[in-house]
Chain A
Amino acid sequence: MNNTKRNPSAEAITVLVICAVIVLNLILGTLVKSFGLAVYAEESVDLSVGDVGDTLFADAIEKGKRVTVTFCMYEDDVAAHSTGKYVYRTAKEFEEKYPDFIELNYVNALTQLDASGRFFDFEKYKTDMRGKVNKIYTTSIIFECDGVYRVITDAVTSAGYADFFTLDSSFVATSYNGEEFFASMVAWVLNPEHGTAYFTKGHGETATLTLYNLLTCAGYYVEELNLKLREIPDDADLVIISNPRSDFERAAAGSTVRTETEMERLHTYAQRGGNFFVALDPYTKSLPVLESFLSEFGIGFFETDEGERQIVKDFSDAITTDGFTLVTSLAAGEHTAPVREVIRDGRVIIKDAAALALSGEAKPLLTASSSAVCQSGGTTTDTAGSYVLAAASSLANEDAESAKMFAISSIYLAAADAIITNGYSNKDFIYSLFDTFFGMGDMPYGCRSVVYDNQILENLTMGTARLYTAALVAIPVLIAAAGVFVIVRRKNR
């Protein structure tokens, strides 16, 4: 006998319960969004912004301009993104500080819709202001003001927003520099004209990410240039020679080759008033052609009688026990006054630097302390102290502005760990060069770097990692063995 008993009211109750639960969740979700009924258990990092915008944005604010900053994902997605959440908080700080000047916008780059369903046309931003292709991802940000725009897309990491961080040589974020980068990009779109900085390549140069970022924040487009293949373009505002390992080319005596050599191209650029930023590693073997070019500006190495470079060591004004990481001082003189105004009593640290010898128009910028000594091959060769470590010079031209050169005998000035330390002024020193020496104008001075906890496992070797892995893999093996033992025993009972 089939005692089927259907209970329609029970089914209705089931449907009602499910609907009620869904409605409850929607209401609660709305309340949480509106009233913030949540707790952040993670320690909150201080991302407050300083006064950098007061200088950079003053003119634009007075003229009533407005900068739109468009995130290419929805607001709650950015706020929850592993790296984007920092940029989001910085953007909110700037929006709060300059409410009539900065406007934040959130658009999904995949659907091209903003939060209220309005279509956002990304077509215009597919190329930059020079016509070069822009890649736009959900982690991109678009800054725009009066038709001038800049698209920031992370081309280095998979996490996104890398430009707002300082990365080490393994592309791992070590500090967050959102205030500086955000302010710089806002300043970028306030000015339609931007020069280009070219890193030379073809001699083993290292175009460090930190220097690349500093140049971008200073208002330059940044490109690479192989002088063997082409001359320095007309839009070059600055040529950077960073840690070359091999020498530049010069025409051999009596050569009839018609193509310009690298040296000739550098000379042509200098003759039209070009600017140079040169960083040399004192441990690289001698580069006679390049050094002869530097000597035209009155800059050379302070060498022993045997022609060996002299490495500066200081036991009192150094921050490492080996004495090679030096705390330098600004050289005395009128020529350092503009830089001094920016970094005030700030100190610049440099590691593994050689002493320079100056002549002609070259003037010292950074010097070691009076207690510093020079060493060559591990032997002390000079104890005079106050060695010149960085210099600036100019070369007069008849029909054009003077060419300018900044040279430093160390590759550490713009290193990642030097840039992120708030206690030293490496970053502001470099910005002051771009501002006062190369004439780029206002810079994002005084911005704080926030140490980013990248949770690197220090001192863990691969051998130890393999041992741990073996121990972890042993657990399921033991469980499987226990299981086999138990089941076989039961079967044999």
Chain B
Amino acid sequence: MIAIFKREMRAYFTGVIGYVFLASFFAVAGVVFSYTTLFSLRADVTSYFTFMLLFSAIILPILTMKSFSEERKMRTEQLLMTAPVSITGMVMGKLLASYVMYAGALLFSSLYFLILIPYAPIKLAVLIGNVVAMLLVGLVFISIGLFVSALTENQLSAAVGTMAIILALLAIGLISSLLPTEYWLRFLLDSLSVFTRFQGFTNGYFDVASLVYYLSVAGIFLFLTIRVYDRRRYN
């Protein structure tokens, strides 16, 4: 797994995609931070992270789109499956590499709030809540990206497919607000909604169910990715 992780990290920093991801991430983070705090004259943590959540829904599919689809396209997939590493190890290695890229960028951009300390007290609990929520949401989005990437050899299809699933998970919570729904259906939709769960963390509200939700959704997609490769290995 570590070997796969190192290989992926090397690929990010010797190829274009890593730099494109980081440059785009920090460009948007800088502009959004300036717009939501500096030029608004408010130490508003929640608005910044809400924007970054929506941006992550676009940028993370681009980060993950070539994870497996590139391997299939270049026919190096066979090498991976016959390598002395389990499929789980392979998937986890790729997950870890993408996650480290994302988490590193997120944590570094969270340091921007240090700029505001001389001007207003920062609500640390809300900041930590937002960062934790973004890390969990990122894990989910990357897992979805890996799964969709494993299904196709076309990187663009992988990116678009990932964005579609992510946006569907984000939009689920809106359905109960916009359409007449029974209470049990509303409860179900809110339970499945990434955004509804995210809002709790942004208010400094740490809830076991939401933590389990994010980990289990990520777990499901990783499990499905492993299943895809498990089937492919025996074909």
Contact = CB atoms under 8 A, between A and B. Distances in A.
A441 interface: no
Contacts of A117: 182-183
B26 interface: yes
B46 A82 contact: yes
A259 interface: no
Interface string A9-44: 010001001100100111011011000011111110
A480 B19 contact: yes
B120 A476 contact: no
Interface in B12-42: 13-16, 18-20, 22-27, 29-31, 33-34, 37-39, 41-42
Nearest to B39: A465
A38 B14 contact: no
A38 B208 contact: yes
Contacts of B25: 476
Contacts of B121: 453, 455
A379 interface: no
B223 interface: yes
A39 B205 CA distance: 6
Given A80-B200, A480-B23, A32 B116 contact: no
B19 A469 contact: no
A5 interface: yes
A385 to B, nearest CB: 42
B116 A42 contact: no
B177 to A, nearest CB: 6
Nearest to A74: B186
B156 interface: no
Given A14-B224, A80-B203, A473-B31, A483 B19 contact: yes
Interface of B, secondary structure class, is helix
B216 A24 contact: yes
Contact of A476 (B30, B125, B191): B30
Interface in B116-171: 116, 119-121, 123, 125-126, 128-129
Given A10-B230, A483-B23, A457 B34 contact: no
Contact of A479 (B19, B43, B206): B19
B219 interface: yes
A492 interface: no
A36 to B, nearest CB: 9
Contacts of A111: 177-181
Contact of A18 (B13, B186, B209, B220): B220
A253 interface: no
Contacts of A462: 39
A452 to B, nearest CB: 13
A108 interface: yes
Contacts of B19: 479-480, 482-484, 486-487
Contact of B26 (A31, A74, A469, A475): A475
Contacts of B179: 111
Contacts of B38: 457, 460, 465, 468-469
Nearest to B30: A472
Nearest to B31: A473
A313 B16 CA distance: 70
Nearest to B32: A472
Contact of A468 (B26, B115, B230): B115
Interface string B172-213: 000001111111001110110000000110011111110011
A133 interface: no
B82 interface: no
Given A3-B234, A469-B30, A43 B119 contact: no
Q: Please name the 7 residue pairs, one residue from A and one from B, whose CB atoms are nearest each other, closest first.
A: A483-B19, A472-B30, A42-B204, A41-B125, A476-B27, A38-B207, A465-B38
Interface of B: 13-16, 18-20, 22-27, 29-31, 33-34, 37-39, 41-44, 46, 112, 115-116, 119-121, 123, 125-126, 128-129, 177-183, 186-188, 190-191, 199-200, 203-209, 212-213, 216-217, 219-220, 223-224, 227, 230-231, 234-235
